Structure 1
Amino acid sequence: MDLVRLRALREFADRGTVHAAARALNRTPSAVSQQLRALQAEVGIPLTERTGRRLRLTDAGWALVRHADEVLSSAERVEAELDSYRSRPKGAVRVAMFPTGAELLLAGLMRRLTPVAGLRLECRDIDMQPNEVPALLADYDIVVTHRDEQMPPFDDARAEVVHLLREPLDVALPAGHRLAKRRKVPLTDLAEESWIGVDVGFPVDDVLRSLAVRTGVRPTVVQRINDFHVTERLVAAGLGVALLPRYTLGPHSGRRWVRRPLAGIRAARHVEAVLRAGASARPSVAEVLAALRAEATAIG
């Protein structure tokens, strides 16, 4: 049943006349009368009757008033609950992150959100390529993704993109490698190396393709591993060289391998938060997004 009509019925029951109900509802008497007639047509039984010049409720009308009190009270509680979501962060926010993005950002994000009462973060790590982001937005409020520096920014009219940080890619070399003592390593000096790469289509792989363009030599990729911790161990064992993100892994352990910046090429991945257009208007989503930006700023 129409809530506007039920409110008109309740006001009429409480105030006794159509004119009084109209004043309470800030409507004209004719508008209130029309609402009462429409409600009566909707339920299919008489709700009011004439006694002389006055209009009064029938027994069915009074029965409906009692139920209208319950319905309108529930509607008011729902509206109050929704107002609380509109005015302050509350409820669940679903976030998808690529795995090393989660390693880089998730712990700090959770710490920043711990003091926010009523907000619940639900995060999943998903090994995603940039072209998979739009589909993920169907299930997640925020998708934290990454792209190669040479790749154009994510572009979708239905989405909002927030840049979080630029993370340089360094070359990881076994400790005894011929280039390990260099302060920086030109990409062209690595043309003949065996590489530990990542799956085709992921940002780090794009830099290896740049190597082919600059040197005319196609890199020899001996393994494609998306877990950078596994890659660290392979490099340390002298089984190849690799490109690794600077902030995610932090300082390497021991002297088993060394990290060196690349020379002569800008090599990095951009970490971005992607949301459906308008999603950041929700206070809870805006709170999580602000915490993500603060954490990324602290890192980069």
Structure 2
Amino acid sequence: MDVRRLRILRELADRGSVTAVAAALNYTPSAVSQQLKALSREAGIALTVPDGRGLRLTEAGAAVVAGAEEVLAALGRLEETVTGLRDQPLGTVRVVLFPSAARLLLPGLLRRAGRHDGLVLSCRDLDLRPDEVPVAAAEADVVVTHHDERLDPFGGGRLRVHPLLREPLDVVLPPAHPLATRTALRLTDLVDEDWISVGVGWPVDDVLNSLALVTGTTPRVVQRINDFSVTEELVADGHGVALLPRYSTDHRDGTRLALRPLAGVHAARLVHAVARPEAAERPAVRLVLDELAAEADAVRLRTSG
């Protein structure tokens, strides 16, 4: 089967529509459809079927995509070898991080990458819901993402998952708040508080909702702000309380914000680096994944010390 057509089929699996595949690969939708039909003829079995005005994978199509990952990974390794022969032993690795992970990990990662001649990082911050990660992984080599530890959004998927951190989530209050005198808090202590959360469906909001189910409380969310630095400012100014990640919150040793753990429940987000299999096989990408893990370990040691 034609490798170019296998890539198109894989893109359909990740991006979900012919239109999205066409935009990503700079094809027309008609050309994408024609290539997919040709691939089905090569395979001798239908790999896609009409779905409204678009296409979706058949069971056979999904199986071919799974097998194609090994082929594309091998090609990635071969391309890396050829690059090395052109005196570019490492090359450029594209990394996407959600904003608070960028604050926490990116300065150290760039410092570590600078020790490797020939390695170039092209980084951007991008806040993603778990369901948006496969598309981001199609655009980048490594995506640093996070989710509620009670969930497993990538289980059984085709992305390779590299655990980095379990970051506890603490209740964040102004230092002068009456509850800041306590060493730990229960959600029931906070039933009368105004909460500043994130958009519905984003990881920290999932954690807050999960805890609400466990405790039987219903937090009163008055603002939804995805930028944690803005949330920090609002909490510091007394506009509510929030659930924020322990390591990446700028509390300034308690003078700006008071961080208190939740008693009786486990509240945390899991931070992972994910990559497509063929990207993860590239030596340059493996190096970046190793350095990300080392930086996450350094953060853990630094914040627990």
Shorter-chain TM-score above 0.5: yes
Shift of the alpha carbon at 1:280? 2.3
Structure 2 match to 1:122: 122
Shift of the alpha carbon at 1:232? 1.3
Structure 2, unmatched stretches of 5+, are 1-77, 301-305
Q: Which residue identity lines up with residue 297 of structure 2 in the other structure?
A: T
Contact 2:195–2:221 (CA<8 Å) still a contact in 1? Answer: yes
Contact 1:196–1:222 (CA<8 Å) still a contact in 2? Answer: yes
- For the aligned residue pairs, the C-alpha RMSD in angstroms reads 2.4
Structure 2 match to 1:204: 204
The whole-number CA distance in structure 1 between the counterparts of 2:185 and 2:254 is: 21
Structure 2 match to 1:283: 283
Mapping for residues 241-252 of structure 1, pairs under 5 Å: 241-252=241-252
The whole-number CA distance in structure 2 between the counterparts of 1:79 and 1:224 is: 45
Residues 215-248 of structure 1: per-residue CA shift (max 9 Å, x gap):
4342111111111111111111111000111111
Structure 2 match to 1:296: 296
Pair 111,259 (structure 1): closer, same or farther in 2 beyond 3 Å: same
Shift of the alpha carbon at 1:277? 1.4
The whole-number CA distance in structure 1 between the counterparts of 2:136 and 2:221 is: 30
Contact 1:141–1:276 (CA<8 Å) still a contact in 2? Answer: yes
Q: Secondary structure at the match of 1:116?
A: coil
Pair 173,92 (structure 1): closer, same or farther in 2 beyond 3 Å: same
Pair 282,196 (structure 1): closer, same or farther in 2 beyond 3 Å: same
The whole-number CA distance in structure 1 between the counterparts of 2:194 and 2:136 is: 35
The whole-number CA distance in structure 2 between the counterparts of 1:147 and 1:242 is: 17
Mapping for residues 1-300 of structure 1, pairs under 5 Å: 82=82, 84=84, 89-252=89-252, 255-300=255-300
Contact 1:211–1:219 (CA<8 Å) still a contact in 2? Answer: no
Residues 114-166 of structure 1: per-residue CA shift (max 9 Å, x gap):
02111111111111011101111111111110001111252254211000010
Q: Which residue identity lines up with residue 165 of structure 1 in the other structure?
A: L
> Once the two structures are aligned, what percentage of the paired residues are identical?
56
Contact 1:100–1:248 (CA<8 Å) still a contact in 2? Answer: yes
Q: Which residue identity lines up with residue 126 of structure 2 in the other structure?
A: I
Q: State which drifts further: 94-103 or 254-263.
A: 254-263
Contact 2:166–2:269 (CA<8 Å) still a contact in 1? Answer: yes
Structure 1, unmatched stretches of 5+, are 1-77
* Residues paired across the two proteins, number: 223
Contact 2:129–2:202 (CA<8 Å) still a contact in 1? Answer: yes
Q: Which residue identity lines up with residue 269 of structure 1 in the other structure?
A: R
Q: Which residue identity lines up with residue 154 of structure 2 in the other structure?
A: F
Shift of the alpha carbon at 1:285? 0.7
Which is greater in Rg?
A: 1
Contact 2:95–2:124 (CA<8 Å) still a contact in 1? Answer: yes
Q: State which drifts further: 104-113 or 270-279.
A: 270-279
Shift of the alpha carbon at 1:87? 10
Contact 2:130–2:153 (CA<8 Å) still a contact in 1? Answer: no
The whole-number CA distance in structure 1 between the counterparts of 2:207 and 2:117 is: 43
The whole-number CA distance in structure 2 between the counterparts of 1:182 and 1:84 is: 58
